[in-house]
Amino acid sequence: MKKNIAIDGPAGAGKSTVAKKIAERLGLLYVDTGAMYRAIALKAKNEKINLSSEKDVTELAGRTEVELKGDRVFLNGKDVSREIRSPEISTISSAVSRFGGVRRRLVEIQRKLSKSAGVIMEGRDIGTVVLPDADFKFYLDASVKERAMRRLKELTAKGIEADFKQVEDEIRKRDEQDTGREIAPLKKAEDAIVIDSSNLTAEQVIGEILRHVGV
């Protein structure tokens, strides 16, 4: 299959889980764009970059290599897949992603990936900005409580300590940052199919997407 599938939605909606499994079933390249911003956020944290300075953060992104290999994320050749998943990095990634220079740098990489093979790409602005001509667009949503529960389970499974209230607060803050930023805010593409996964299993969501894709 050489089609491009875009999946957008807020943090913790289950985009990664669903996209990875669909990629395996359809033989598509899986692209987690959020992980790319998280990688930039991790480097900004490690180098103590001023997150209020668009110039400094954009310069950092320009000299940073981010590579995706399946569900593994490499920052200048180092596997940082686990490090980028903390609540702190989640908040920082939302901060750095509001800068146009950072987004242009990563969107360029993302579009090149989509032209090399059929992709299933998930993030915040895939259907609206990165791949506006995607063959299929979905907007995956869920309640804040459900998303917080999922994220807490995910962090716990990876050995990262967190409590429910902390995770829920981070989710709400991330939502505000993502929907309120001036450049490429989180929003549903007009032609996207909305799926509320609050009461659905991952397999049910996958089945719904595959039905629309015609598989």
Share of the chain above pLDDT 70, in %: 100
Q: What is the CATH number of the domain that holds 71?
A: 3.40.50.300
CB 140 within 8 A of CB 14: yes
Please indicate, yes or no, if residue 211 is contained in any of the structural domains: no
pLDDT in the model for residue 75: 95
Contacts of 141 (CB under 8 A, 6+ apart): 9, 10, 13, 194, 195, 196, 197, 198
Contact 12, 147 (CB under 8 A): yes
pLDDT digits (tens, 9 = 90+) for 14-61: 998 999 999 999 999 999 998 999 999 999 999 999 999 999 999 999
Of 41, 10, 63, which is closest to residue 194 (Cα–Cα)?
10
- 210 lies in some domain: no
Q: How many domains does one find in the chain?
A: 1
Domain membership flag for residue 157:
yes
- The CA-atom distances, in angstroms, between 160 and each of 13, 57, 82, 91, 106 are 19, 27, 9, 16, 27
3-state secondary structure of 168: helix
Residue 113 lies in a domain: yes
The secondary structure of residue 88, as a DSSP letter, is: H
Query: For residue 209, is it within any domain?
Result: no
More confident residue, 12 or 48: 48
Residue 155 backbone dihedrals phi, psi, to 5 degrees? -65, -45
pLDDT score at 1: 64
* Span 133-191, pLDDT tens digits: 999 999 999 999 999 999 898 888 888 888 899 999 989 988 998 898 888 889 899 99
**pLDDT tens track for 104-127:** 999 998 998 898 889 999 998 999
Residue 13 in any domain: the answer is yes
Assign 74 a pLDDT band (cuts: 50, 70, 90).
very high
- Are 170 and 10 contacting, i.e. CB atoms less than 8 angstroms apart? no
Give pLDDT, residue 158: 80
Q: Is residue 156 part of a domain?
A: yes
Q: Flag whether 169 is in a domain.
A: yes
Q: Which residue range(s) make up the domain with 74? A: 5-201
